[in-house]
Structure 1
Amino acid sequence: MNQHLCKNCEHSFAGNFCSNCGQKTNTVRLNWTYLKDEANYTILHFNKGFLYTIRELFTRPGDTIREFLEGKRVKHYKPILLVFVLAGINGYLASQLDIKETFKEFDYSNNMNKREQAAFMTEYMKCVKWAFGHWSLMEIFALPIVSLVSWISFRKWGYNFIENVIINSFASGQRLIFSIFTSITYLILPSGYMGKFSVFATIITFGLTIWTYASLYKQKEGSALMFRIALFILLLFVMAIILIIIFSILFVIYLKNSGKI
């Protein structure tokens, strides 16, 4: 068999691909045919992996995640990249919403005067707007925290911390898909219904995560599974409260130091 010299790593090899770095033997000159082939491959790969993964997450989430962890991965879109792509789409849609309408029912007048209330809401809405516009960052930031909680809650059932990151990447992708649907619904609904629909959407989102974990560990004994899921929810709640308290304290300190309240 003819030997080839890899143009990428200069390794001598035989065959269609370099055995050292994987580059193709035939590296033709870049032209319109190259662009067409690359576009066809990208679209085909996106449709095949992306749409397949979305379908699996809403038909058999636990089974497909378990199979991925066990090595059945070729058909799937990369889970962390999935979070980035979906969070980017969701962040853009969410940034188009009139978020202030969702929070207009909240009244802070019992705790601060009108000037402070107005200043607080102005700065608070800036933070909310930034968070929705950078949702991919928020999801990636949350991944290790949620994964730590799930690893602690289910650690006796065999998956290590990194595997929990992958589990929660898929779970996050599932939530983001539903969140994209709800963001589109928010854009269609009259603003007065946004607050009521958000409660319904939150319940569904929460239920999706429970369904995913319940189906992932469905082979476990029922009472043990319920206990582990309850522990997971409790620890998530405690972690969320801690983070909210920390953020609130830092936010108020920032507003006072900057003279905005």
Structure 2
Amino acid sequence: MNKKSCLNCGHSISDEFCAHCGQKADTARITIHSLIKNDILGSIWHVEAKFFYTLKNILFSPGTTAMNYISGKRIRYNNFISLLLILFGFNVLSYHYYEKFAPAETLTDDVIYVKDFFSKYSKVILFVLIPMLGANGYFLFKRIKLNIAEHFIIGTISLLGILILFLLSDMVSLIGLWKPVETIFNIIDKIVFGLSILFPAITYWTAFKNSYSKPGLLWRVSVLYVLMVVESSVISLILYEIF
């Protein structure tokens, strides 16, 4: 087979992509057809398909997604840190609209305080919760022999799942403002919120279910939650006292 030269870097190409710079080998002349098909529609479809594929796998198989990523299967997923920032933005936006349309009596002082607290310290929460989960997971699941950074990935997946469920909860709450469906959507909202609380447990359980017995997993996940509650309470208290 005749080798071609990459039009970007000049290196020889013998496959679909250049091994040196990663550019595709079939860089033919740009036409209206190729511009629409590859550059416009192709780019949009690739970004959206990857984005929703990542969200779906985080939500329905968080532990498997984390372990796949750690084991090197990464090109199929969106960057998790970028996804965190996007989901934080969506959560702030969705709550803004809920606050705008919700009856005044539903926005109690406690609800407003929690919203203001999390809006103000969302970045602190983002950069503290992941290390907490990672460090706690590192000491509780030592048998797996993952390093601290790999446990940070599992913590990131846990937080992403919580943010996805929070976003769903906000959307359900918005729909639930319509009186004919208020009762059923309030029930759905409570279920979604409960799942968000359980999501880290689901993540660690599905990640390590083949490495520990059920009792072994149960006590480790339980201790993880106790540690997270204590640590989160201390950090919240410090933030409250300082600011």
Note the 1:113-124 alignment, pairs <5 A.
Answer: none
Deviation string 1:68-125 (CA, Å, 9 cap, x unpaired) is 322334433333333233232222212323298666255xxxxxxxxxxxxxx89x86
Tell me which of 178, 181, 184 is aligned to 2:168: 181
**In the aligned structure 2, how far is the partner of 1:31 from the partner of 1:130?**
49
Note the 1:237-252 alignment, pairs <5 A.
Answer: 237-251=229-243
- Match of 1:12? 11
Tell me which of 203, 206, 216 is aligned to 2:194: 203
- Match of 1:112? none
Matched, 1:68 2:55: no
Note the 1:209-224 alignment, pairs <5 A.
Answer: 209-219=200-210, 220-224=212-216
- Match of 2:157? 170
**In the aligned structure 2, how far is the partner of 1:27 from the partner of 1:186?**
49
Change (3 A) 1:209 1:149: same
**In the aligned structure 2, how far is the partner of 1:101 from the partner of 1:167?**
39
Deviation string 1:208-246 (CA, Å, 9 cap, x unpaired) is 221221121112112221121122111111210110111
State the aligned residue count. 230
**In the aligned structure 2, how far is the partner of 1:141 from the partner of 1:21?**
36
**In the aligned structure 1, how far is the partner of 2:62 from the partner of 2:206?**
7
Change (3 A) 1:210 1:128: closer
**In the aligned structure 2, how far is the partner of 1:213 from the partner of 1:36?**
41
Change (3 A) 1:24 1:162: same
Identity of aligned residues (%): 20
Change (3 A) 1:95 1:141: farther
Letter in 1 for 2:39: E
Change (3 A) 1:129 1:163: closer
**In the aligned structure 1, how far is the partner of 2:106 from the partner of 2:136?**
30
**In the aligned structure 2, how far is the partner of 1:30 from the partner of 1:139?**
43
Change (3 A) 1:136 1:250: closer
Q: Helix, strand or coil for the counterpart of 1:72?
A: coil
Q: Kindly state the Cα deviation for residue 205 of structure 1 after the two structures are TM-superposed.
A: 1.0
Change (3 A) 1:74 1:3: closer
State the TM-score, normalizing by the size of structure 2: 0.74
Note the 1:7-86 alignment, pairs <5 A.
Answer: 7=8, 10-15=9-14, 17-25=17-25, 33-34=34-35, 36-86=37-87
- Match of 2:95? 94
State the TM-score, normalizing by the size of structure 1: 0.70
- Match of 2:220? 228
| Greater Cα radius of gyration, structure 1 or 2 | 1
Matched, 1:104 2:103: no
**In the aligned structure 1, how far is the partner of 2:158 from the partner of 2:127?**
12
